Amino acid sequence: MARISVFGIGYVGVVSAACLARDGHQVIAVDVEPGKVEAINAGLSPIVENGLDALIAQVVGDGKLSATDDVQHAIDNSDVSFIAVGTPSAPDGSVGLTYVETACRNIGAAMAKKQGYHSVVIRSTIVPGSTEHTCIPALEAASGKIAGRDFGVGYYPEFLRESTAIEDYDDPGLIVFGALDQGTADILTAINIDLPCDIKVVDVRTAEMVKYTSNTWRAVKVTFANEIGNIAKAAGLDGQTVMEILCSDTKVNISSYFMRPGFAFGGSCLPKDVRALRHLAETQNTPAHLLNAVLEANEAQIRRAEAMVERTGAKKVGFVGISFKPGTDDLRESPLAELAARLIRNGVQVDVYDPYVHEAYANDNSAAGRGNDVIPDLKDRMTPDLDAMIHEAGAILVGNFYRDTLDTLEAAAKDRPVLDLTRMNRQKVSSGTYEGICW
């Protein structure tokens, strides 16, 4: 079992401290407010949270949890410190790091007087780069020691919801952390190893970003539900019933399928249906802020890809995929077709390798090129020879993923620009002549 000090007896800090103590760890809670320290030591909860009063009374009575305002005492009597202080917004909307930086300086000063290795783990919500650019410099300056060598550093975000915090701690939907050193990673793994959830070990900046992504995604879901509710009400419908039915579909609507960063959406359904629902909202005098933003953001993703091509300076570009999704010859509102058309209008020669669209033309299907109303002479631009297209192109744009093209495209990326909108290889990130649109 670990010896842990928790800095900040706020919502996250006190729940974490109590649950860690219940699990058998020796925990010291640290705060500058005497009232919070006194409450903990008296076996009382300083906040209102379901089940927390009884839990604190139990772990304090068992001698597993105590509180203090003495930083040196806490550091000398623990092996790892969790920082769980607040990060309120700064006046300009940026994350406020004053409390985190102060905690780091106080901990660093105490570590300067301590013999032996100590780990510092940030649990406060901080934007990517904060641990690297704010926390570590403050710890190093105050301690005179080097992070990752003389002391450990990690970032371990929490995902506790008020009123269900203890339940969330015991049955988390997500555990993720990053650490500079193996010792800190081992401590965090040991603390979480018995919880019913996979542990995601990533770099520190990714862990910081996951926390913000999680909170923002929840905000987007609330906003979306409210917007649908507003439109439904204006149309004489019950928005909650609509959303309850939507959420009952875990195959498509509540799934990870559409949660993969990449290129714009298209096809015969999504673009027109977002536009139609937005128009319905307009006819009902109901603002549709999120629906407007969805269409604006989708258009911006096409412009982003266009700019990627322009930066290469290529006058001849080979497209791998032109249909709105792989495995079909359907070009209705394909963002790839729209992108190709824009490049053609700007004087770029575009050739296309797409086995499904090519097959439709080769078989003289009556619906060959179906949905294409933007690319001139599409049939003449099609080629069944990927190698030849690559050889003649100044840049290659990968719009749809076809597994049998992977080796050829990876080889091409060694000597010419390959612009990837679909992520042909999960391990590749933008580097050299290879550029991914979102990675």
DSSP state of 151: B
The values of phi and psi at residue 275, to 5°, are: -60, -40
Catalytic residue among 19, 135, 197, 269: 269
Q: Are 86 and 124 in contact (CB under 8 A)?
A: yes
**Does 113 belong to an annotated binding site?**
no
Decide if 269 is catalytic. Answer: yes
Contacts of 185 (CB under 8 A, 6+ apart): 154, 177, 179, 201
The CA-based diameter of the chain, rounded to the nearest angstrom, is 83
Count of CB atoms situated within 10 Å of the CB of 392: 13
**Inter-axis angle of helices 136-143 and 98-112, to 10 degrees?**
30
**Does 311 belong to an annotated binding site?**
no
Q: What is the rounded distance in angstroms from the CA atom of residue 6 to the CA atom of residue 245?
A: 43
**Does 161 belong to an annotated binding site?**
yes
**Does 315 belong to an annotated binding site?**
no
**Does 68 belong to an annotated binding site?**
no
**Does 186 belong to an annotated binding site?**
no
- Give 13's Cβ-side CA count (13 Å radius): 27
**Does 36 belong to an annotated binding site?**
yes
**Does 43 belong to an annotated binding site?**
no
**Does 379 belong to an annotated binding site?**
no
E strands, 309-394, where? 316-320, 349-353
**Does 101 belong to an annotated binding site?**
no
Q: What is the rounded distance in angstroms from the CA atom of residue 373 to the CA atom of residue 333?
A: 9
Q: What is the rounded distance in angstroms from the CA atom of residue 270 to the CA atom of residue 274?
A: 6
**Does 304 belong to an annotated binding site?**
no
**Does 416 belong to an annotated binding site?**
no
**Does 414 belong to an annotated binding site?**
no
**Does 261 belong to an annotated binding site?**
yes
**Does 319 belong to an annotated binding site?**
no
Q: Which two tokens stand for residue 382?
A: 């099609």
Q: What is the rounded distance in angstroms from the CA atom of residue 277 to the CA atom of residue 256?
A: 23
Residues annotated in a binding site for NAD(+): 31, 36, 87, 125, 162, 272, 332
Residues annotated in a binding site: 31, 36, 87, 125, 159-162, 211, 258-262, 266, 272, 325, 332
Residues annotated in a binding site for substrate: 159-162, 211, 258-262, 266, 325
By annotation, the residues acting in catalysis are: 269
